[in-house]
Chain A
Amino acid sequence: MKKSLLALAALLFVIVALWQCKTRGAATSAAAGGDAQKAYVPPGKYDEFYNFVSGGFNGQVSVYGLPSGRLLKIIPVFSQFPENGYGYNEETKAMLMTSHGFVPWDDEHHISMSLTNGEQDGRWCFANANNTPRVGRIDLKTFRTTEILEIPNAGGNHSSPFITENSEYIVAGTRFSIPMDDQPDVPINTYKQNFRGTASFISIDPNDGHMKLAFQVLLPGINLDLSRSGKGPSHDWFFFSCYNSEQANTLLEVNASQKDKDFIVAINWKKAEEYAKAGKGQVKKVRYAHNTLDEKTHTATTKWENEVIMLDPKELKDFVYFMPCPKSPHGCDVNPTGEYIVGSGKLAAIIPVFSFEKMQKAIADKNFEGEYDGIPVLKYDAVLHGEVQKPGLGPLHTEFDADGNAYTSFFVSSEIVKWNVKSLQVLDRVPTYYSIGHLCVPGGDTKKPWGKYVIAYNKITKDRYLPTGPELAQSAQIYDISGDKMKLILDFPTVGEPHYANAIPAELLMKNSVKFFKLEENNHPYVAKGEGETKVTRNGNQVHVNMTAIRSHLTPDNIEGVKLGDEVYFHVTNLEQDWDIPHGFAVKGANTAEILIMPGETQTYYWKPDRVGVFPFYCTDFCSALHQEMQGYMRVSPAGANVPLKYGTGEAAPAPTESK
C-alpha cells in the first residue's frame, strides 16, 4: 500500500514536471520573438507552399519552400545560367534573342501566377524584364522558361507581368517613357511633346499559354510603375500607378516629386479589346522577337514580329481615365472583392483607397476635374473610399488576406502595417529588418488569398547575417498572420534581389511536376535514342557529334579526325529514363558553360578548338559511383592533317596503333 502510494505520488510528480517543462518551453520560445516551431519543417517533410520569388538583377526566378525558407530551385529566365547551360547551349540561345541582338541579362522584378476565375491554377508563372522590355513564361510542369516575348515601343518594362482573372492578358507598362519606335531620334528636352508611355496587353492562349502582343495603349510621357487587374465587378479594368506626371527628363529624384498628386491610370481592357478587334487601332511597324521553346525538340526558335496595334485614348474615347493619387504612387493593388484599389504614394504618409463603384459613378456623371494630355481626370474626392491616416512612412505594396485585411509594406519606416480595407483602421504593425520592398501573402493578390503568412523582402541587410564583405545576401522574413498579431517566425537569405513574389499551395504544383522527358518523344534533329544511333559527321568545317550519356559512359568517348579550324557541336542525349539523373558535359578550354542534360533530353555544346592536342571531356554532374570514370577524349590535329574521322566507345573505339 505504502509503496503503491509512493508510486502514485511519483507518477503525479512526473506529470507535473513534464507539464511544467512543456509550458516553460512554450514561454521561452514566445520570448524569443519568433515562433520558430512554426517555420520548422522536419527532415524529409514537405513545405506547405512554393514561394516564387523574382530575382531582380539576377534575371531569374527562385523558388523557396514556405514556411521553411529553404531554397528549392533557381529558374533562369532573362539571364544566362552557367549552372545548367541555359542561354549558353545551342538550344536556348534563341530564348535571349531580341531586336537588339542576344541580350544575356535582365532585371526581373515581378511575377504573376496564371489564374482561373481569379484563383491560382498552377499552370504558368510569368515574369517581366525591366531593362530590355520582355515578358517570360515559365511552365510549372518543368519549372523551365518556355517563352519570351519582347515588347516594342517601350522603355523599362516595370508594371508587368500582372494578370487578369482568367489569364486573358498579362500587361507590360513602360517605366521610362521614350519616343515611339517609328520616330526615334528627337531632342531629349522635347520630352513632353515626343515621349510616350505605353501599356501593352499580351493575350495568353488558354490551352498552351502562348503569348501574343494583342494591342498597346498609347499614354502621355509618364512613368508607369505598378499595376493590377480588377476582380469580380472590376473584371474589365486594369489599374496602373504612375509617377513623374511632371514629365521631367532630368534629376527625377527632385523634379518628379513636385506635384502633390500623380495618377492611377484606369484602363477598360474589355473596351480596348473591342476597339482593337474592330480595327480601330493604328497598325504600327515595329520589330520584336518572339522566342519559344519547343517541348519535343527541346529547342528554342525566334520568330520576328513586325506589327502592333496601337490604341490612342485621345481618339478612341471612354476607355482610359486618370484617378489623382498622392505623391508618386508605387504599389497599385486591388483587394480580393475587386471593389477597392489601394494606391501607395511612396512619398506620402497616407494610403488612399479608391472605390471601384464610385469610380464607375464618377465616369457616368462625368465628374472630372479636367484633362491630362487629352485624358479625363476624375475628381479625387469622387473616387475615394477613404485614406488610411498616418499608417507609416513610405508605403510601397499591399497584399490581402481572406478576412478583409490589407498588409502594406513601408520602406522608410521599415515595417509591415496590417489594416482593415473597409474601416481603414490600422490593426497591427511589425518592424522588418531592414527597409522592406515587396511583400507576399500566399494568394494575396488573388480572389482567394490562402493567408497564413506574410513574407517581407527587404532591401537592406546590414547585420542580419554573418558578414560576407561589402555585398550581402538580401534578407527576407516570414511572419505568421494566423492570429490578430503578426509574429516574426523566420529570417532567410535570398538570391539576387527579390522584388515581387507569389506563393502557391504545394499540392497545386507537385502532382504535375515532370520527372523526366520521354526519350521516344524527343524530336531533336541530332538526337541519338540509343548508343547504336551515335555518330560523328562532318559538314565542311562543322563536326557534329551525336553523343549519348548513360551511367557511366559517354558514347562515343574516343573521337579523332577533328582539325584546327573545325567547329564542333556535341549533341548529347541523356538516355536515362529515371528521376533526378541528369548528366553534364564539358570540354577543356571551351568558351561556354557546361550543359546539364535532363533524362530524355538532348542539348548541344559548341566548341571551337584553339590548338592541336587531345582534349578530355567528361560528365559534370555526379551521376553514379563510376561518375569519375565518365569521360572521353577528342583528338584535334593540325588543319590539313590526314587523320580520318574515327570514333567509338569500348570495342568500337579507334584501335590502338603501334608506336613507331
Chain B
Amino acid sequence: MHNRDNDKTTTFREKMAWVMVVGLMIAAGLYFYIVLNISASMDQVPKPVFAGLTVIFIVILTVFAIFGASVAALSNIGEADLPMDERDKLISLRATRLSSIATVVILIMTMTAYFFDARSSDMLLGIMAALIVGHLVDYITQIYLYRRGA
C-alpha cells in the first residue's frame, strides 16, 4: 500500500480486554482478600457478607468497564460501535474455548472438594473463582492473540 498509516495496532477490543483484566484483578483481589480473611476467622462466611461483597464486586467491575470503554472509545474514535470483523470473531472464539476449559477445570475441582467435606462457603468461593478465572483467561487470551496478529 502506498500511503501507509502508522502501525498502531491496538484495537478498541484489545483495549477493552486490558481494562477488564485490570478491573477483574482489582475487584477479584479485593473480593478474595476480604472473603478469605473472614473465612479464616469464622466457621462459615455469613450469607449477607457474601451477597454484599458480590454486589460490591459487580459495581467495581461495572464502573471499570464503563470508564474503560469511554477511554478506549475516545482513543479509537469511530471504532467502538463497529461490529466484530472476522479476525475479532476468530480471536473471541479461541479465547472462549480456552476460558471454558479453565472454568470447567475449576468447577470440577470445586465439585471434588464437596466429597472432602468442603464448607458450603468454600463451594461458593470455588464457583466464584471458576467464573472469574474463566473470564481472566478469556481476556488474557484475547490480548495475546491481538498482539500476535491472530
Please say whether chains A and B are actual partners in one complex. no
Interface residues of B (CB under 8 A from A): none
